[in-house]
Structures are given as structure tokens and as C-alpha cells.
Amino acid sequence: MTVELHRPFVLDRVGPDGLDIEVKATKAECAALAERMGLPGVRALSCRFHLTPELASVVVASGHLKARVVQTCVLTLDDFEATVDERFRVRFVPAGTEDDDLDPESDDEIPYEGSTVDLGEAAAEQLGLALDPYPRMPNAVLPEVESEGEEHPFAGLADLRRPN
């Protein structure tokens, strides 16, 4: 699997007071992310992580993702620039120890092997989750459909009714 935004980080660097890390995408990484996400463009992406040790080998990441993306309006099919400003919280857990809890309110868990996590991939995944699946350009409205006289497709059937 090709990772467009690769920022490996050794979790042993996180001390008891936590650690702040920022991930910023280059232009080439933004272009690769746009292709991956099926977007006309990703203009900029940055993500700040505050990493805090929780239990043995578990690290909690509170993050703040900011991005400028180009999306296609589902109504007009025009491209427009949108901003993403998303706060999130995830837990990095050793592979095989993920919780089976399906509670949507619980933190997402990102499994890792060894002692290294990929903060770039975590940021890319958060961007994918934060994108509006049905983007609408500001002030976009549905076009008016002109009526051709009949109120609905079966309106003419009323004339075929036989009187009782």
C-alpha cells in the first residue's frame, strides 16, 4: 500500500507529560492525497497532534486537522474550495489489542506494530472522515424543473376511471 503522507513516529519519544507534533503536507503529498480521496485538489493540509501515554503501549492522540480542499458540488457539478477544520481523538494501540466495542462515541483505535506509528497516515484518514460526502457549493440551489402541465405522471389516469 502506498502511503501519500508518511510521517513515522517512534512512540518511545512520548514522555509522561505528552508531546506535541505537527504534520504538514508538501505540494506533492497534497496532490497524491487529492488523487486518493477522489478530489479535484488538496491545497494545504496540516495536523497538530498532542500525544499522551495512556496504558502500556497505548498512546492517545488529540488532534486538530486543518485543510483547504477543492470539491465538486453535487448540485452544480462546479468545483469549489472548502476548508476543513476538525478536532479529533484517536488511540494508537498494539495490533491485536483493539477493543471490540462498537460504541460510536468511543475513540477510534489505530493499530500499530513494533514501536512506530504513522502520524501522516493518521492525518490522511482524519481528512477522509471529515470530508462532506455530498459537498454543496455555498449558495448552490437545485435548478427549477418546469412542469409540462400535469401535476404527476399518473394524473391522466384519473380520466379513465369509471363512475360507480
- Give the per-residue pLDDT at 25: 97
Q: Which residues are CB-contacts of 42 (< 8 A; sequence separation ≥ 6)?
A: 25, 30, 31, 33, 34, 67, 68, 69, 70, 127
C-alpha angle with apex 115: 112 to 116, nearest 5 degrees? Answer: 65
The answer to the question of residue 157 being in a domain is: no
- Give the per-residue pLDDT at 121: 95
Per-residue pLDDT of the chain (164 residues; tens, 9 = 90+): 577 899 999 998 999 999 999 999 999 999 999 999 999 999 999 999 999 998 878 999 999 999 999 999 998 899 999 999 999 999 999 888 888 777 777 888 899 999 999 999 999 999 999 999 999 998 877 767 666 655 666 766 666 666 65
The answer to the question of residue 22 being in a domain is: yes
If one counts the domains in the chain, the total is 1
The answer to the question of residue 1 being in a domain is: no
The answer to the question of residue 61 being in a domain is: yes
117/94 Cα distance (integer angstroms): 10
